[in-house]
Amino acid sequence: MSGLFNLRRYGASIARHHLLTGGPTRRRPPPHANVFGRALHTTSVLDRVVSFHLSDIGEGIREVTVKEWYVKVGDVVEQFDNLCEVQSDKASVTITSRYDGKIIKLYHDVDGIALVGKPLLDFDVDEEGDDSGSSSSSSSDSSSDEEETKKAPMPQVEAAGGQMPAGKVLATPAVRRIAMENKVDLSKVPATGRNGRVLKGDVLEFLEVIPKGTVKPHPSLVAKEQRKPETSSPGDPKQSETVVPLKGVAKAMIRSMTEALKIPHFAYCDEVDVTRLVEVRSQLKEEAARQGVKLTYMPFFLKAASNALLQHPILNSTFDEPAETVIYKHYHNISVAMQTPQGLVVPNVKNVEQKSILQIAQDLNALQERGAKGALTPNDFANGTFALSNIGIIGGTYTHPVVMTPQVAIGGLGKTRVLPRFDDAGQVVPAHIMVVSWTADHRVIDGVTMASFSNLWKQYLENPNLLMLGAK
């Protein structure tokens, strides 16, 4: 009978885990169990070891670099706790827990390569869920907490997993139920769980059901160890050398630039007189600022490129080398190179062909803000079709940008300089001159196509009123 009781008690939990993970549950019997005897036994505890696999993060990414671990073996974690940060060749992604339990194995070291669909770590899953006591965030809590909890006049509700609705405090459903029945505002309850999670014990302390200080705060995250340079003997040349392993964006650049070496690049340069554009932007800048938008020249460059791509759609395509086919894109997701604290990244502005210059400026501002905070997501890099890089903000005039596979073209924008030029009457006048440097995949794009596109793009910028015709 006791064996049947255990089956009823744990069967639903095991089935639930099987459905969530899509795989079998590995069970670890206790030492005294007879593994050669009957399948049903009378033990009151059934531990479960669950492998946490790296999920697909999109964009065809098959491997990532483990940038930082937020947990270590032996840590007790809860649902939605941060486990680690991984870096793909697109962006950094924080991986969070789907389970409550104890970490028993990490499969990768920092800077190690993790494969999508393969295990990241193993959990010893907490069978009792949230009702195992308020010590789910710390292994150092005393047993008196559990005893006092049992005496509390609040119903115990089996939690199916924590969640954090928008604008609310992080807590599991069971904790919210206790707070609701006792009319407690969770935002006023001091939280001791990781990342500000309110635990059951926190609510009980707030209600003075258990003594203050019964629930111990979750251990703070272990600080990253500072790597120290290797010591060497006096006179050793290595004393003046520092070895720094490449990781993150820099490591991703190795792969992307190695792929770019396979492309036969075709280059084309031209001058653009942006004197009228300087005047138009100066007139619109203050109005855009009143609407909370910083208006630079880049939105004009993007819109001009989009209008020109409508006439030369092959430049807004990708090349499938194995199939030897060109895939035309009917949306203009134009990538923009920008410098961030993590390095040079190239997110894109979505659907430029459908947006006005002000809307493009808003999207650019948002990308730059997320980039400065290191908060760009894989979606910000997804499905780029064309690219522009403004090297002129650093000070360069001419450049030779590298095509980003599988795209087929990119433009490099030089610094705008005031230079003497002849007007229509033959008089020397000051003019704002910018040099644009185009490169393209010569397997797909020929010189005539690139030059024709450049001439049309130049026409829009030298006569910016043309951008207002049919503006969206």
**DSSP string for residues in 305-331:** HHHHHHH-GGGGEEEETTTTEEEE-SS
| Closest alpha carbon to 465 in 272, 294, 269, 284 | 284
Residue 34 belongs to a domain: no
| Closest alpha carbon to 266 in 204, 318, 215, 315 | 315
| 102: CATH | 2.40.50.100
Residue pair 325/408 in contact by the 8 Å Cβ criterion: no
User: Is residue 450 located within the same domain as residue 311?
Assistant: yes
Residue pair 367/380 in contact by the 8 Å Cβ criterion: yes
- What DSSP state is assigned to residue 262? T
Residue 69 belongs to a domain: yes
Q: How many residues does the chain have?
A: 472
Gyration radius from the chain CA atoms: 30
The confidence score (pLDDT) of residue 106 equals 93
The confidence score (pLDDT) of residue 255 equals 81
Residue 4 belongs to a domain: no
| 308: CATH | 3.30.559.10
The confidence score (pLDDT) of residue 393 equals 85
Measure the CA–CA gap between 407 and 321, rounded to whole angstroms.
Answer: 11
The confidence score (pLDDT) of residue 242 equals 85
Total of domains in the chain? 3
| Closest alpha carbon to 393 in 356, 458, 344 | 344
Measure the CA–CA gap between 162 and 197, rounded to whole angstroms.
Answer: 10
Measure the CA–CA gap between 210 and 417, rounded to whole angstroms.
Answer: 72
The confidence score (pLDDT) of residue 378 equals 86
Provide the strand spans (E) within 101-144. Answer: 101-106, 113-115, 119-125
The confidence score (pLDDT) of residue 470 equals 58
User: Is residue 86 located within the same domain as residue 212?
Assistant: no
Q: Which domain holds residue 211?
A: 173-221
User: Is residue 296 located within the same domain as residue 416?
Assistant: yes
Residue 306 belongs to a domain: yes
User: Is residue 383 located within the same domain as residue 462?
Assistant: yes
446 is a catalytic site residue: yes
Residues 6+ apart with CB under 8 A from 231: none
User: Is residue 339 located within the same domain as residue 199?
Assistant: no
Identify the three-state secondary structure at position 194. helix
* CB-neighbour burial class of residue 72 (10 A; exposed 0-12, middle 13-18, buried 19+): exposed
| Closest alpha carbon to 68 in 88, 53, 51, 83 | 83
User: Is residue 211 located within the same domain as residue 356?
Assistant: no
Task: Kindly state the tokens that stand for 352.
Answer: 């430029």
Measure the CA–CA gap between 468 and 194, rounded to whole angstroms.
Answer: 52
Please give the share of the chain, as a percent, with pLDDT higher than 70.
Answer: 74
- Neighbouring CB atoms inside 10 A of 122's CB total 19
Measure the CA–CA gap between 22 and 42, rounded to whole angstroms.
Answer: 28
Domain end, chosen from 164, 195, 221, is at 221
User: Is residue 179 located within the same domain as residue 298?
Assistant: no
Taking the chain (472 residues) in runs of 10, the rounded mean pLDDT of each run is 42 43 45 44 54 75 85 88 82 81 90 88 66 35 38 38 52 84 88 79 85 68 40 63 80 82 92 95 93 94 96 95 93 92 88 95 94 87 93 87 92 94 92 96 95 96 85 60
424 is a catalytic site residue: no
- Neighbouring CB atoms inside 10 A of 156's CB total 14
Residue 33 belongs to a domain: no
Measure the CA–CA gap between 199 and 214, rounded to whole angstroms.
Answer: 12
- What DSSP state is assigned to residue 163? B
| SS3 sequence of 437-451 | EEEEECCCCCHHHHH
Provide the strand spans (E) within 37-99. Answer: 47-53, 63-69, 76-77, 82-87, 92-96
Domain end, chosen from 92, 125, 158, is at 125
The confidence score (pLDDT) of residue 278 equals 95
User: Is residue 268 located within the same domain as residue 364?
Assistant: yes
Task: Kindly state the tokens that stand for 180.
Answer: 């609701």
Measure the CA–CA gap between 247 and 112, rounded to whole angstroms.
Answer: 10
